[in-house]
Chain A
Amino acid sequence: MPLRIVVLTKPVPDPAAAAERLGADGRLDRAASPAVINGNDEYTLEASLKLVEAHGGEVTLLSMAPPSGLETMRKGLAMGAHRGVLVTDPALAGSDQGSTIQVLAAALRGLEYDLVLAGFDTSDGVGGVVGAAIASLLKLPYLSSAAKIEPDPDAGTVRVRRISPTGFDLLEAPMPALIVGTQLLGEPRYPSLKGIMAARSKEVVTKSLADLELDAKVVGGAASRSKVTGTTKPPARGATTVVRGTPEEGAKAIADLLASRRLI
């Protein structure tokens, strides 16, 4: 039985460019920085590609993003995903996590899948709730913090190794299920040139709010319940204290320092 996997991918400002900036309205200035696929989403995408390589099947990318998200999605298609669904609508600008969850859940209702994979969190918003919330909205089994994913398509079940403070928990659930991955799933691959060329002709379906039968009064920027009220830069890091000397002297100096800050 081939696997049908949907991977949630979000275009985020490239963290390496360090040009992330909020506009006057408190929203992300997407023109300020090149977009890339959210780093954690690449790990789940890599895991899903390995799964369909082993079991057969198809990987579908699902994003909610401005139209420029199409370009970012091509990078995931170049890695080997088979097709994409991009939910884009001017009314979605400024959506908070609540809206995002509603929209992605609605899009998933229109897709057939055995597994939905979400990254641990995103590097721009760092909310980390979208996966869990979609699972509860769609009443899907929720398997979080996955270090390893082992589906059994014939039995219709999936096993997940969930990292825990003491090691691993072994979870099993019937499919379809939603899994939130970790970086332990393995380094994402670098797309080959053939992959990049093939991605140009892969199908990406664009859907608007109307296509999903959602109302702009209920979801999107206008309906967002959380707002950015202000931003401050993190304080600059203080000067580094370098301790030199023998290990004994070093240990004493560090202990004194910690004691002086009442940390020990």
Chain B
Amino acid sequence: MNAIFEDVPYYPLVFVVFWGAVVVFGLAMARHLRVFAATRAAGPSPFEDVRARFAGLIQYAFVQTKMFKDPRAAILHLGIFWGFILLTIGTANVVTGGLVQQVLSAPFGGVLWAAILAMQNVVAVTVIAFILWAFERRLISRPARLTYNLDALLILGMIGTLVAAEFFAQAFEIARYGAQPGAFITSAIAQPLGGIGGLSRAGLETGFAILWWLHMLIVAAFLVYLPGSKHLHIATSFFNIYFRKLKPRGELPAMDLEAEDATFGLRTLADLGWNDLLDGFTCTECGRCQQACPAWNTGKPLNPKQFIMGIRDMSVEAEHGLPLIPNSPSAASFGLTDVINQAAMLSPIVDNAIPYDAVWDCVTCGACVEACPVLIEHVDKIVGLRRNLVLEDSRFPTELNGAFRNMEGVGNPWGQPPTTRTDWTKGLAFEIPLVADVAARGELGSLDVLYWVGCAAAFDERNRKVARAFATCLDAAGINFAILGQEESCTGDPARRMGNDYVFQMLASGNIETLNRYRMGERTIVTACPHCFNSIGNEYGQLGGNFRVIHHAAFLRELLANGRLRVVDADAGANGAGGTGRSVTLHDSCYLTRYNGIVDQPREVLGSIAGLELREMDNRGKNTFCCGAGGGRMWMEETRGTRINEARTSQALATGASTVATECPFCMTMLKDGLEAAQSGTGGTVKAIDIAELLAESLAPTQPGSRALPVLQ
């Protein structure tokens, strides 16, 4: 026993109280892990991509970059987080019998330890202030995204009392037993405490003893309480961030459809991976996902936060009845068994952690994933649930029956005859060759790009005009391109997002075979559809198809940057289209921004158009708000709540822009409908126009290699 804590009455009890609490904490965590171990799906390996995983740990756990989407909350949280860590030095000193102090007092004649005490003084005051601020948020300003329960208040109360007790105990200690170099704030408080008119020696001793032990008991209580609290994230978030999904966010988990006796998709807790349960135990109920979710924002039953909380609740239910100490004889006498609650483990997730309707409300826009500061993955799980409902139970909104049959039967969700796939090219001033013809002439090598048209641009009346505009741009730039024509089919993206991986794999395998037949692995594929782009680029690899694919936003930007496309000058005005002073707001596609990080390219395309004024919406870039068509919602009726496309339309109209620029055929359809509905009878003339159309009508009339003046519509 050393002399450092000689003033603390019954100091040795610390070892029993603290280390006892540590054991209880460890056993409770081990009980969580027993449920983790009972899950079937393989989780991520800790030894792969170690560098990226540690880099993420620094970025997301220690700097907490994701928190800064809400800067006030970020400062509040970062203050408490770092304060708590620095104050832990003091706690570590207490529970090691002063070991930390002994070591840190040695160098520089004790200056280091004095500096730590000074810093801890500052930090303690900060943390107490921030805790009061946090109480204010929970009790007075009450942001809607938070979950209000006793748990959160209890935790805040514990942290606040803990820090305050430690802080004031030090003041009493200094007043009674003498100066501690460095502790300048507590020393200042100690002055009046022990000075004239202050407390007696006995009073100071009692005050110190009570405060010191209060602080220590709260530390112990905190450890015992934590494993059952939402605040457990202080332990789990590091792991959740380390084990985060490192694959492209747009790549849904691969699926073996030939697996014998497998459960397809996710049905029960047991079908999840341990990392999914870790998601549940990491959720702090902050509600950033809920705040960002377009379904929740339009009054639908889907709440991503409650889904993740529901997973945790199911997981806790599964360990119900497990004793803290495994195989303990005394537990048996209380009727506890060492068996995981199989009923909870095997009860379905749907209608337990998430309502059936909510599973279908998801637009897979990824706003929740983007918003989550601790990198919880919601979308993959929701699609997993859909997979099970579709592949095992054939249980899905009836409208999907047609979409599935159409994709399976004629290779496009619209159910249009494949023979009409090239109808959009009719009347263009130039010929678009079919890849098959190019190959027959042996000229595949001279092809710059393959234009993957996509079903929407091939069959939907409005989007055919986008295809014509984009082809016009390609032609004007002198790009040697071709299309697959009837050999192209749906990439399978809608089927996959609706949970029908059988149809996805069927369509994807067919497309991969076609693309490989024309050796497209050696060429570049360009598409104006973010969903085709994501599927071909991020998902076809799972089925052995590796292609370089570029979205038209990025490709057009490239053509402008290297001078192959030129737009009319504002002053020239001869063409007249370019310099009309059009004001435009850009609606970002989820599958471009959040899923594939394409944010600046479309803006650069718009920026190249003379006289165009960009008026941004609040929800833009990676914080974009879905049009409502993702995740196969394009083919479902929107019966619950208000319409997502109308919510997004009003955001766009609020900018006062005369044009809503789009970069995705589904967004185009949804915003076109939204604008028509919002402006019906008002005489409003705001229209949705694709960036390729805006560019095509601004192209300079004399283009090198162009065979015709650009035409639009």
Q: From B404-412, B471-479, B582-590, B673-681, give the one contacting chain A.
A: B404-412
With A and B bound together, what is the CA distance between A195 and B390 in angstroms?
12
Residues in B whose Cβ lies below 8 Å from that of A259 = none
Q: Which parts of A28-84 form the interface with B (CB within 8 Å)?
A: 34, 36
Say whether B409 contacts A192, CB under 8 Å: no
A19 within 8 A of B: yes
Q: How far is the CB of A165 from chain B (nearest CB, A)?
A: 28
Q: From B221-229, B392-400, B528-536, give the one contacting chain A.
A: B392-400
> Which A residue sits closest to B257, measured CB to CB?
A193
With contacts A18-B417, A34-B409 taken as known, whether A189 is within 8 angstroms of B394 at the C-beta atoms is: yes
Q: How many residues of A contact B (CB 8 A)?
A: 16
Say whether B417 contacts A16, CB under 8 Å: yes
Residues in B whose Cβ lies below 8 Å from that of A194 = 264, 391-392
Q: How far is the CB of B299 from chain A (nearest CB, A)?
A: 28
With contacts A14-B409, A14-B410, A16-B406 taken as known, whether A193 is within 8 angstroms of B502 at the C-beta atoms is: yes
Q: Identify B502's interface contact among A34, A36, A189, A196, CB under 8 A.
A: A196
Q: How many residues of B contact A (CB 8 A)?
A: 23
With A and B bound together, what is the CA distance between A140 and B41 in angstroms?
55
Say whether B419 contacts A192, CB under 8 Å: no
Residues in B whose Cβ lies below 8 Å from that of A195 = 394
Q: Identify B391's interface contact among A14, A36, A187, A192, CB under 8 A.
A: A192
B102 within 8 A of A: no
Residues in B whose Cβ lies below 8 Å from that of A36 = 409
Residues in B whose Cβ lies below 8 Å from that of A192 = 390-394
A191 within 8 A of B: yes
Say whether B405 contacts A190, CB under 8 Å: yes
> Which A residue sits closest to B417, measured CB to CB?
A18
B415 within 8 A of A: yes
Residues in A whose Cβ lies below 8 Å from that of B418 = 17, 19
Say whether A17 contacts B502, CB under 8 Å: no
With A and B bound together, what is the CA distance between A183 and B257 in angstroms?
32
Q: Can you list, as one digit per residue, whether each of B413-433 has a CB less than 8 Å from chain A (1) or not (0)?
A: 001111110000000000000
> Which B residue sits closest to A195, measured CB to CB?
B394
Say whether B392 contacts A190, CB under 8 Å: no
Say whether A190 contacts B404, CB under 8 Å: yes
With A and B bound together, what is the CA distance between A93 and B416 in angstroms?
30
With contacts A18-B417, A18-B419, A19-B419 taken as known, whether A190 is within 8 angstroms of B401 at the C-beta atoms is: yes
Q: How far is the CB of B385 from chain A (nearest CB, A)?
A: 15
Say whether B410 contacts A17, CB under 8 Å: yes
> Which B residue sits closest to A194, measured CB to CB?
B392
> Which A residue sits closest to B406, measured CB to CB?
A16
With A and B bound together, what is the CA distance between A159 and B257 in angstroms?
42
With contacts A189-B394, A190-B404, A192-B392 taken as known, whether A17 is within 8 angstroms of B264 at the C-beta atoms is: no
Say whether B404 contacts A16, CB under 8 Å: no
With A and B bound together, what is the CA distance between A195 and B391 in angstroms?
9
> Which A residue sits closest to B258, measured CB to CB?
A197
Q: How far is the CB of B434 from chain A (nearest CB, A)?
A: 18
Q: How far is the CB of A250 from chain B (nearest CB, A)?
A: 18
With A and B bound together, what is the CA distance between A193 and B392 in angstroms?
6
With A and B bound together, what is the CA distance between A34 and B398 in angstroms?
24
Say whether B410 contacts A187, CB under 8 Å: no
With contacts A191-B394, A193-B257 taken as known, whether A17 is within 8 angstroms of B401 at the C-beta atoms is: no
With A and B bound together, what is the CA distance between A153 and B536 in angstroms?
54
With A and B bound together, what is the CA distance between A43 and B415 in angstroms?
20
Residues in A whose Cβ lies below 8 Å from that of B390 = 190, 192
With A and B bound together, what is the CA distance between A190 and B390 in angstroms?
9
Q: Identify A16's interface contact among B391, B398, B415, CB under 8 A.
A: B415
Say whether A16 contacts B409, CB under 8 Å: yes
Q: Can you list, as one digit per residue, whether each of A220-258 has a CB less than 8 Å from chain B (1) or not (0)?
A: 000000000000000000000000000000000000000
The 6 closest A-B pairs by CB, nearest first: A18-B417, A193-B391, A192-B394, A16-B410, A16-B415, A190-B394
Interface CB pairs A-B, < 8 A, 11: A16-B409, A16-B415, A17-B409, A19-B418, A19-B419, A187-B398, A190-B394, A190-B404, A191-B394, A193-B502, A194-B392
Q: A17-B418, A194-B264 are in contact. List 18 more A-B contacts (CB 8 A).
A: A14-B410, A16-B409, A16-B416, A16-B417, A17-B410, A17-B417, A17-B419, A18-B420, A19-B419, A34-B409, A190-B400, A190-B401, A190-B405, A192-B393, A193-B257, A193-B502, A194-B391, A195-B394
